[in-house]
Amino acid sequence: MTHPCLTCGACCASFRVDFSVHETQDMGGDVPDGLAVEVTGSTCRMRGTDHSPPRCAALTGKVGSQAACGIYEWRPPSCPAGVFYKAGL
């Protein structure tokens, strides 16, 4: 059975996603620098997640039917969908 997160994507178009600057590629992490917006000296945010309405710049497709994370392997650990993936739900 396909995991619902694989097509849903609603949380990637609902929440602000912040993470440590150390998660960016520039600092030795995985998150592509072009998708990270610096918030403070120690915090970054996924581009687009503080827009109104929010939508992560890495989210592809149509929310609710055919959505996907364009940087699944490189997304920050704080991603809302990532928690569910990791929990194996």
Tracing tokens 């912040």 back to the chain, one arrives at: 18
Q: For ligand SF4, which is the closer residue by CB, 41 or 89?
A: 89
For 32-71, where are the E strands, in sequence order? 36-38, 43-46, 59-62, 66-69
Selected from 29, 44, 45, 82, the binder of ligand SF4 by CB under 6 A is: 82
Q: Does residue number 46 form part of the binding site for ligand SF4 (CB under 6 A)?
A: yes
Write out the binding residues for ligand SF4, residues 59-78 only, by CB under 6 A: 59, 69, 71, 75
Nearer to ligand SF4 (CB atom), residue 28 or residue 46: 46
Q: How many CB atoms lie within 10 A of CB 24?
A: 21
The residue whose two tokens read 């928690």 is 83
Q: Which two tokens stand for residue 5?
A: 């997160």
Q: Which residues bind to ligand SF4, rule: CB under 6 A? A: 4-5, 8-12, 17, 46, 56, 58-59, 69, 71, 75, 79-82, 84
